[in-house]
């Protein structure tokens, strides 16, 4: 390699790398969802079954999404809708929850159909439940969250 061409070669390599990086960004799908910070927790607005808005605590430690009994009543969930009853270990201890299948749960532009949710009594005022990681089962993992 002619040493006088090394500088030009490096410029061309930098341009190629820049173009490849641009293409990767274009091929990637970024989804931005506003997080609402209350005290030391983050909440998100969701749409359930395409017609009921809810505010759920984003809980990366929860395996399954849980809804308050009042939200379940708004969704017209009754005992005939229960498909199972499961035991969960929570920070507050063991609990048993009936499980239902929601038609859909949407968070921003992400929509998951036929998602299981537990019904778990009451949650703190202004909270309709917990968004569990089963919401993400068909979605790519989140790398980070930003408080908007």
List pLDDT tens digits, range 77-104.
988 998 989 888 887 788 889 999 999 9
CA atoms within 13 A on the CB side of 38: 11
Least confident stretch, 8-12, 54-58, 100-104, 124-128: 8-12
Q: What is the DSSP letter of 143?
A: -
At 17-60, the pLDDT tens digits run 877 776 665 555 667 778 888 888 899 999 999 999 999 998 88
Cα 66–Cα 83–Cα 89 angle in degrees, nearest 5: 40
- The mean pLDDT of the chain is 82
Give the residue ranges of DSSP H helices in the chain.
Answer: 6-27, 69-74
In this structure, the strands spanning 65-67 and 110-119 are: parallel
Q: Which two tokens stand for residue 70?
A: 């009042």
Among 71, 72, 70, 41, which Cα is nearest to 58's? 41
Q: Which two tokens stand for residue 80?
A: 């005939």
Listed as own residue / partner, the contacts of 111-116 with beta carbons closer than 8 Å and 24 or more positions apart are 112/137, 112/138, 112/139, 115/65, 116/64, 116/65, 116/83
Tell me, what's the pLDDT at 26?
Answer: 57
Q: Distance between CA 77 and CA 81 in Å, rounded?
A: 6
């Amino acid at each position: 390699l002619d040493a006088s061409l090394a500088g030009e070669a490096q410029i061309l390599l930098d341009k190629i790398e820049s173009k490849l990086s641009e293409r990767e960004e274009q091929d990637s799908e970024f989804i931005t969802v506003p997080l609402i910070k209350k005290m030391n927790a983050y909440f998100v607005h969701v749409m359930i079954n395409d017609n009921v808005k809810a505010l759920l605590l984003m809980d990366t430690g929860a395996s399954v999404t849980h809804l308050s009994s009042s939200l379940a009543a708004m969704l017209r969930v009754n005992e005939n809708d229960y498909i199972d009853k499961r035991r969960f270990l929570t920070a507050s201890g063991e609990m048993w929850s009936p499980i239902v299948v929601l038609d859909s749960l949407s968070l921003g532009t992400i929509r998951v159909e036929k998602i299981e949710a537990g019904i778990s009594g009451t949650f703190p005022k202004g909270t309709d439940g917990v968004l569990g990681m089963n919401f993400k089962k068909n979605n790519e993992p989140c790398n980070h969250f930003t408080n908007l």
